[in-house]
Structure 1
Amino acid sequence: MDPDDLEELAGELQGKTIGGWGLVQLAAGAGFAAYVVWAAVLMPGFRRVPLRLQVPYVPSSAKQVENVMTLLKGRSGKMVDLGSGNGKIVLEAYKRGFSPAIGYELNPWLLRLSNYRAWRAGCYGKVFYQQQDLWKVNLCDCYNVSVFLAPSVLPQLEMKLLAELPDEARVVSGRFPLPTWMSTTIVGEGLNRTWAYDIKSVRQTGQNKPKGSSE
């Protein structure tokens, strides 16, 4: 089964309740069994990251990718995806004119999958996937950032983004909003909902200041 088909199946199952008979039917299918094995291999890979900063891999849907691109429409320059997973967002960003387009991902299996996607799309060597801890990446020259991360790590991420990104940067967060920032624009519904944040606006309104700060 092709990785795209496996991920589409996973996306369809997200948020759905499946009865006992349905589970039996799924488990009996070779395709679903292949997905279970595939996911079991891909989901580890965070051994070097502290437990509180680990983020499980969930494949992005076509609609989620499209919503990210909608919120970055009309922009240009460097685009990075923090925790790039299957590489879909980075690849689509490159196709829409962002350069360089870079994905940061620790899991080597996901990096191989991302490079396979790029090769199949004729973009190998034009998009970049790096095996690097997103918490150690310097974002000072990044103007377009996408994140699909777990709520537990978003407070720490806000501090990193605010400390490193230039005023002109826009951050797009999928599935979950950044906890203390006020979004500029929102698109989509449910699991596909996506939020955009402009760093200059965040700084001007004093969002994410430490408690007790008078500055």
Structure 2
Amino acid sequence: MDILQSEDDSKPKDKPTLTRTGKILLGVSAASFVTVFAVTTPFILPALRKFCLPYVPATTQQVDNVVRMLRTSSGRLIDLGSGDGRIVVECAKRGFKAEGVELNPWLVWYSRWSAWRSGVGHLTKFYTQDLWRMDLSKYDNIVIFGVPSMMEPLEAKIANELQPRGQVIACRFPMPTWTPAETVEQGIDTVWRYEKPTVKTPQETSAHSH
């Protein structure tokens, strides 16, 4: 049985075309996607580091716990791997000369803007630098949100550079061998406060053994 086909149906159909308005909207959408991707990707992916230290925003409870540990402290503070700068900003609000070091330039720029918006831009500094190249001897307080793989070498670096009366505030993961002077919270919100261990000289050790 023959199938009758109308004259209109026998002609190839034209491909759909975009109107000028549609092309503009498509272009704007594509540009917006590229911009958002370029801005947000550094916030999500780890920066290139000696150790993989991905950007994971601190919870409000973690920030509160850090501030709580510093309640009787003062002086100069450094946040190693400062991310979006929340710890630095909150500490600056409480009178600290607070600084942050972060390899990711997008996060450093955001941190500076956040500090300015919070009215503490003059009390804060942010560096785009490898934390392993930082001289920690000039800081009274060191804050670190680390990962297990980096805590042992970081402990050694801090032991060599931390001032005798300095302290370390560790979040999420503790120092490998140091005994905390104070601990607050549990789980991912745990924060440990450490004072620099007193290292005895060989003479002191020998005298004590007798």
Cα offset for 1:39? 4.8
CA distance in 2, matches of 1:67, 1:106: 25
- The answer to whether the Cα contact below 8 Å between 2:96 and 2:123 also exists between their aligned partners in 1 is no
Taking structure 2 as the reference length, the TM-score comes to: 0.73
Shift of 1:42: 2.2
**Overall identity of the aligned pairs, in %:** 38
CA distance in 1, matches of 2:72, 2:132: 28
| Structure 2 CA distance for aligned equivalents of residues 120 and 194 of structure 1 | 27
Structure 2, gaps ≥5 residues long: 1-32, 202-210
Rg larger in structure:
2
Conserved? CA contact 1:44–1:107, under 8 Å: no
Secondary structure of the residue that 1:178 maps to in structure 2? coil
Structure 1 unaligned regions, length at least 5: 1-32, 207-215
Partners of 2:95 and 2:195 lie apart in 1 by 20
2:65 partner amino acid: N
What's the CA shift for 1:40? 2.7
AA of the residue aligned to 1:191? I
In 2, distance between residues paired with 1:205 and 1:149? 28
The TM-score with structure 1 as length reference comes to 0.72
**Partners of 2:172 and 2:190 within 8 A in 1:** yes
**RMSD of aligned alpha carbons:** 2.1
Residue 203 (structure 1) aligned to one of 190, 198, 201: 198
The number of residue pairs the alignment matches comes to: 166
Tell me the SS of whatever aligns to 2:67.
helix
| Residues 1:115 and 2:108 aligned together | no
Q: Secondary structure at the match of 1:153?
A: helix
Q: 1 CA distance for matches of 2:54 and 2:159?
A: 24
* 1:94 CA drift (Å): 0.8
What amino acid is aligned across from residue 46 of structure 1 in structure 2?
A
